[in-house]
Structure formats: structure tokens, C-alpha cells
Structure 1
């Protein structure tokens, strides 16, 4: 677990730095500098690109991780790397031609509610292709145990670039329309930087040949396309549907709330980058006991860390929204932003439940049983779209959040039951219940207690008290052995204890 802890810790720090930058952008700069309409437009373009990205990547980022370690010679690995980079072009080119031929019909459908999106539709496939190849080259780095650089580009560099662009808008160096186009260029540059770094780790030796196990690879890739489409639709599909039913401004209100809630999933995203290849190796070796141990460790460790993040967000949410709406002059717009508090709770709980499943996804995608769960995911996407179409016209963004909560929870529960029943792997222990109980108690204690100071001061003070109480109680009751050992090392290092 040494390399897991080392790179997971680095990835966690990097990801939180990125989320801090993104949080500053989301909470203050986007609403004030861009305004609700162009903030909603930018989110719609990027979210739509993220939804179609799996079709462009055709699952090669996951396929690369799963099969790379199975090739033994340098020649086999070079051939496989070439295949993962070149094969997606067989899908990208026809999809782009299809979009070109039916461009007018696509534009008419997507802009029927919000005409503002009409001139920016072509950016969706451009960003989607950039995202797809970024993920492929990021996987290239991960199989060589160099996950930190790609994680930095994905989590920090992209958000830092947005920060610079927002400042440019503020000073009049760039128009809000130019910001949308510049965002697309940033994603393309992220691809180029990651690609050249991947080539520096292992120089490419492109060859127009296919691996010996091509059939197995392609079958797996097909199901990973379904998996990626399911995951991304559950993450960003609601924003696409909102565009069809409501003014695009509502995507801005919804995006602020969902971004805040997504912070809860940061520990999982960070650990996943390095745990996925190790899970693939253990599953390939059929090492059940070690896999079961890893499953439990990732589950409780993510629950403890994610629980602290969720608790910090939930108990400070009212003060946080005071900061978000402080720079807004329109009372109606402020009220619409405040409606996002309910969205934060709904999306946050769904992310917390998904978090405590540990490396559940990595386990499923590296077994022969992954197909059944993926088809179940497709059914849940249909359910998600249907629920959004029902609840958005009635309850607006809160209806969309409820549809997402219900869909993600059902999907996560289905995957959990599948792993337990089929593979006899169990993520939960009695510490799982203890952690949930401690988190719930501390929420009740701190949620209704606010300091009569400036929101930033109040959030800081409450966060410090919550962190001290949470860490102390988790340490005292030994919720996670690994986290307790890590704390002991820190205490000895700073000579607090001997």
C-alpha cells in the first residue's frame, strides 16, 4: 500500500488545491464576472462535451489500464499503446461527419429553448475529442505509475486557466463570448501537454497493427463505452436536460450547488487514480483475500475523509451561500441561487453513498461480470432522463437534483449488491456504522450553531471546531486503522507524543 498511500496523498492534495481554485471561481468569479447566462452557457457546453466524451474515447482509457499489465514484452506493449491511440479515430471521424451533415437539425433541437447556445454548439465535439484523448494519455501515465502529473493538469491547471480567463474578462481584455471559446482552447492545450509528457515517459512507436487479443479488448471497450456514458450522463446529463426545459440561467444556479456537493467525491477521485491499476492486477491474479482487504480499506478510509468534507460543507452551507450571493444585485437572482442549498444536500448525500463503496467500480470493471451491471446502468440512465423530464417542469433544479439522487443511489446500491453476491467481497464493517453515527451526531450539533461574525470568519471557526471534534472522535474510536497510523506518524514527527 506504500505507493497507493504516497500517490493517493499527492493526488488528494492536488485535487483539493484544484477544487479550492474551482470553488473560488464558482462561488465568486463565475456568477459576478460572467453573469448567470454565460456561466450557464459555459457549463452547458463543457457538460455536454463530457457526456459525449466516452463515445470518442470508446473506452480506451479503461481498456489500457486493464490490459496493459497483461502484455509481457516491450513490442506487445508498444503495439497495444498504438492501438489505444489510433483506434478511436475510427469512431471520431464518422461521428464528426454525422454531426456536420445534420448540423442544422442538431442546432435547432438544442437551441429551441435557449437561442444563446446556437453559435457555440460546434464547441461541444471539439472539447469532447480533447477530453477523450486527454483521458487516454492520462491512462498511459497511470499504467506507468505516473498519475500525479495528469491529475495536476485535470484538477489544477484547467481551473487555474479558467481563473486567468475570468480575470481577463473582468479587466475587459476578453469578452464573455470570447471566454467560452477560450475555454475550448484550454481543454485542447491540456491534451497536448499531457500527450507530450506521456511520450516522455515512454516514447511512442506507432504501428498500424492490432493486439493478439483484439476481440477481448474490443468487447471490453464496448462495455466501457456504456459504463462511461452511464457515469457521465448521471454526472452531467441533468444540465443538458435543464437546457431543454428552463432558461439557461438555471444551469448556473444548479452548477454552483452541484460543484459544492462534488467536493465530497474528491478523496475517491484522488485514490481511484492509483488504486485502479492495483485492483486490476489483484483481480487478474485472482487474489481474493488481498482484494477483500483492499476493498475494506478503501471503503472506510474514503468514508472517514469524505465524511469530514461532507460534514464541513453541510454545517456551513448557509454561510457559504451568503458569500455566493453577496456580490449579486438582483434579489430575484439571489433567491434562485439560494434554492441551490437543497440541491447541495441531495447531490451531496448521493456522492457520500457512492464514496463509501471504495474501489467498487474498479472491481466490477475488472471482472467477467461487468456486462450485467453496465446494462443495468443503461436502464438507470433511462430512468434518470425520465425522472428529470417529470420533475424539472414541476420543481425546477430541485426536481433535477432529486432525480439525480434517486438514480445515483439506485445505481450504487445495485453495484454493491452485485459485488457482494457474485464476488463475495464486502466493503463494510462495524466501523462503517460507527462512522455514520459520529457524522450524524456532529451534524446535529454544529448545523444550527452559527457565529455572529462575517461569513468567512464564521465558516473558518466552525470548520476548525468540526475538524477537531471529528478527527478526535474517529481517532479515539479507531474507525480506520490506516488513518490512525498516519496520525500517529504525524504526532511523533512533530514530537507531540513519543
Structure 2
């Protein structure tokens, strides 16, 4: 647990810095520097490219983490595993290019309400290339138990690049098309930086070792890669289908408004992202070594330790919605309900812990495909029904319902197969404590100006919530962090 704790804390610090930068770009710069449809274009391009990227890596994103322990050998340069990590997705990328060229008319016809998308359709190629190789390289680096470099690149460097581009566009140093070219370049830079990290660590091992690839191992990797490829579509579709379908059914302006609200509501997943960057690698290692007791410890601790900061951030965000509405331009006023619903959906996902990692890294990984097929139909059908009925709020409800069902199914499956579940009475205490603090905060009118109220309200919520968590002895890890902090200041 030590390495999870250490790197999770580091990743959390990096991610919170990223949140600060993201707040600047998403709340201040994007809505005030770009038109809503222009911002919607950037979100739609990313969402569509996420889906294509998932197909293009051919399962290598998950395979790198699952099978690296079988190749690991410093003296033999990990038996050419990095070579496989880089070459297998290349075939998927070439297939993606074929789809993009052959079905361009069909894809563009789906977005006839989003004319700006047609002008930048081909920007998908470099974005997918950059995302593809960043994801597979980041999986390889994480498999080496280096989760921090990817966090720095995606959370800090990418956002700093966006701030520079937005300021240049605002001062008319760049046209919108030049801004979009810079936007694309920022995603290409990401895998380059990871390659440089491996180079300076002396771990850029590009030499293949085909002799190590025994038929039985290749077959296992191929089977796992296929199911990981298809199974991984579930999360991506649930997380992106709303924006993709909004772009088609409602246009880019609604997409832009929804994307802003989705970002704010998704701020609470920071702890999940931090733990999720290192925990899967250790789960794969422990399952290989048949140390299921260690897997269960990670499962239980990941759930409660994601819930604690997640609910704190959720309460802070919802308590400050009136302030956020005053910060955003008037056209974003409809975003409030989306923020709340998306926030709830992320709390559900966080509370479920790492059930997906346990399934994907076990012999039952094929189950992800079964759950995916059901969930895709459920998610798409719900979005088609609710978006025309409720607009962006309908898209948010569809996302929340899909995540709840998905995690319920996975949680039940893990319990049946492994007799593991993350639930405890302490979770109920966290929920009740959060609701009580949120209710109390909503009874208090704004104090002073907008920014003073945000700072004071957030500080009081954090202090009262933290005191409650410590008083009820919710988490051993949190208590130890508090004890370590007190020892350092005395």
C-alpha cells in the first residue's frame, strides 16, 4: 500500500494544480474567449477521437499493464515489451485512417447541425495519433510504476499549453484556425514527452525480442487484448456518448455549454484518477501472484478513500453553484442542473472502488465485453430518449443512470466471483455528514463579494467536513496522514 499512498498523494497534488489551471481555462478563458460553438467543437473533436483511439490501440492500453509482469527483466530490457507497445497500435491507427477516409460522408452527415465540425473533421487524424501513443506509452510507464510523469503531462503541461493558445487568440496573435492547429499540436507533444522521459531514465528499450514470444503467451495476450479493447469501450462510450450525441441532436452551442458543466461536475473525480494511475498495476501484480488478500485491501481502501475527498469536493461545488453562475457568461445559466447530476454520477463511480481493474486483470476479463454490450444499448437508448426531452440535463441523467447500472453490475460480479465488496457502514456516515454540511451551507446567503464568499464558504466546509471525518475515524489512511502532519508541525 505504501507505493499507492505515496504516488496517489503526488498525483493528487499534481491533479489539484491541474484543476487550478483547468479552472482558469474552462471557467474563465474558454467561455469568455471562444464562442460556445467554438468551444463545443474542441470538446466534440476530443470525444470522437477518444472513441477512435480506444479502437486503434487494439487493447494494448490494458495489455501493457496486465502483461508487463510477464516480460519484466531489467537485464534483458524487458524482453522487447516496449517494441510491442509501440508497434501493435500502429496497425490500429492505419485501420482508423481507412475508416475515416471511407466513411467521411456518413460521419459528417450525422453532424449536419454542427457545420463547424465539417471544417475541422480532418483534425481528428493528428489528435487520435497523439492520444493513441500517449495512452499506450503512459500505460507502459505506469506498468513500470511511474505514474507521475503522465500526470504532469496531462494535468499541467497540456493545460499550460491551452492557456498560452487562448491568450494568443484573445490578443489576435492567432486566428481561430491557427488556434486549432496549436490545439492539435498540444496532443502530439504528449507522447513525445513520455518518450523523452524513458530516454533520460535509460529505459527506452526499442529492440524487439521475438524469441521470447511463445505461442501460448501471444495467444493469451491476443485474447486479453481483444476483450480489453471491446470492454474498454464501455467507460469511453458512457463518458463521451453524451457530448457526441449532443453534437448531433442539439448542435455545438449546447455541446459547449454541457462541456463546461460536465467539467465542473467532474472535478470530484480527482482522487479516483490519482489512485487509478497506480492501483491497476499493483492489482495485476497481486493477482498474478495469487495474493487476493492484498487485492481486497486495495479494493476496500480505494472505495472509502475515493469517497472521502470526492464528497468534500462535491459539497464544495454544489454549495458554490450560485457563485459559479455569476462567473460564467449568461448563456451558461442552464448548466447548474447538469453540474449536480454529473457530480452525483461521479460519486457513484468513485464509491464503487476499483472493481473494473479487478475484473480486467483476472481470468474473468471477458465479462467486461458482456456488460459493455448491454450498457452501450442502455446508454445510447437513454440519450436518444432524454436529450430531445430534457436537453443537456437529459444527457447528464443518462450518464448518471448508465454509470450507476454499470458499477452495480460489476460490483455484483466481483462479489460472486471473488467474495469481495467495498461497502461499509462508514460510507453511510460520509454521505450523511456531507448532506448535513451541504444543507447548512445552502441556508447561508452570500457573504461579501463573490470571491470572498467562495473562499470563506469553501474553507468552512473543508474544516467542518475534515473534523467530522477524523472524529468518526472513517479512514485509517486519512488518520495516519493527519497524525504525520501533526508530528511534523510539533
Fold shared by both chains (TM-score > 0.5): yes
Following the alignment from structure 2 to structure 1, what is the Cα–Cα distance between the partners of residues 230 and 319?
37
Specify the SS of the correspondent of 1:461. helix
Partner Cα separation in structure 1 for residue 125 and residue 477 of structure 2? 43
Q: 1:15-47 deviations in whole A, cap 9, x for unaligned?
A: 111121111111111011011111111111111
CA distance in 2, matches of 1:203, 1:37: 42
Query: How do 1:63-462 residues align onto structure 2 when only pairs under 5 Å count?
Result: 63-71=63-71, 73=73, 74-75=75-76, 77-107=78-108, 109-201=109-201, 202-207=203-208, 209=210, 211-212=213-214, 213-325=217-329, 334=330, 336-462=331-457
CA deviation string 1:189-247 (max 9, x = no partner): 11211122123331223327372211110111111112322111111121111111112
Does 1:489 pair with 2:489?
no
Does the CA contact (< 8 Å) of 1:254 and 1:340 recur in 2?
yes
In 2, the alpha carbon distance for the partners of 1:236 and 1:79 equals 34
Partners of 2:85 and 2:140 within 8 A in 1: no
Describe the shift of the 1:223–1:348 C-alpha distance in structure 2 as closer, same or farther (beyond 3 A): same
User: 1:159-215 deviations in whole A, cap 9, x for unaligned?
Assistant: 111111000011111122322221111100112111221233312233273722111
Find the residue that maps to 2:278 and give its secondary structure: helix
Deviates more, 1:199-208 or 1:128-137: 199-208
1:279 CA displacement: 1.0
Q: Is the 8 A contact 1:58 1:225 kept in 2?
A: yes
Alpha-carbon distance in structure 2 between the residues aligned to 1:42 and 1:125: 14
Counterparts of 1:344 and 1:65, CA distance in 2: 33
Q: Counterpart of 2:298 in 1: which secondary structure?
A: helix
Secondary structure of the 1:87 match is helix
SS at match of 1:488: helix
Number of the residue aligned with 1:26 = 26
1:72 to 1:37, Cα distance in 2 relative to 1, 3 A: closer
Rounded Cα–Cα distance in structure 1 between residues aligned with 2:371 and 2:481: 39
> Once the 2 structures are TM-superposed, how far is the Cα of residue 125 of structure 1 from its aligned partner?
3.1
CA separation in 1, counterparts of 2:347 and 2:248? Answer: 29
Shift of 1:453: 2.0
Structure 1 residues 437 and 394: alpha-carbon distance in aligned structure 2, compared to 1, 3 A threshold: same
User: Is contact 1:320–1:459 with CA below 8 Å preserved after alignment?
Assistant: no
Q: Which residue of 1 aligns with 2:39?
A: 39
RMSD (Å) for aligned C-alpha atoms: 1.6
What residue ranges of structure 1 are gaps of 5+ in the alignment? 326-333
Aligned residue for 1:286, secondary structure, equals coil
Q: Is the 8 A contact 1:110 1:117 kept in 2?
A: no
Three-state SS of the structure 1 residue aligned to 2:361 is coil
CA drift at 1:72: 5.0
CA contact under 8 A between 1:83 and 1:211: conserved in structure 2? no
Judge conservation of contact 1:138–1:198 (CA < 8 Å) in 2. no
Q: In the aligned structure 2, how far is the partner of 1:317 from the partner of 1:205?
A: 50
Q: How has the CA–CA distance of structure 1 residues 373 and 466 changed in structure 2, closer, same or farther, with 3 Å as cutoff?
A: same
Distance in 1, matches of 2:129 and 2:232, equals 14
Segments of 5+ residues of structure 2 without an aligned counterpart are: none
**Given that residues 56 and 129 in structure 1 are in contact (C-alpha distance below 8 angstroms), is that contact kept between their aligned partners in structure 2?**
no
Question: Does the 8 A contact of 2:359 with 2:367 survive in 1?
Answer: no
Measured at CA, do residues 70 and 236 of structure 1 come closer, stay the same or move farther in structure 2, by a change above 3 Å?
same
Q: TM-score, normalised by structure 2?
A: 0.96
Q: Verify the 8 A CA contact 2:52 2:96 in the aligned structure 1.
A: no
- Preserved CA contact (<8 Å) 2:89 2:132: no
1:403/1:223 CA distance change after superposition, 3 Å: same
* Distance of 2:402 and 2:352 partners within structure 1: 16
How far residue 6 of structure 1 moved from its aligned partner, in angstroms, is: 1.2
How many equivalent residue pairs? Answer: 485
Tell me, yes or no, if the aligned pair for 1:15 and 1:270 is still in contact at 8 Å. Answer: yes
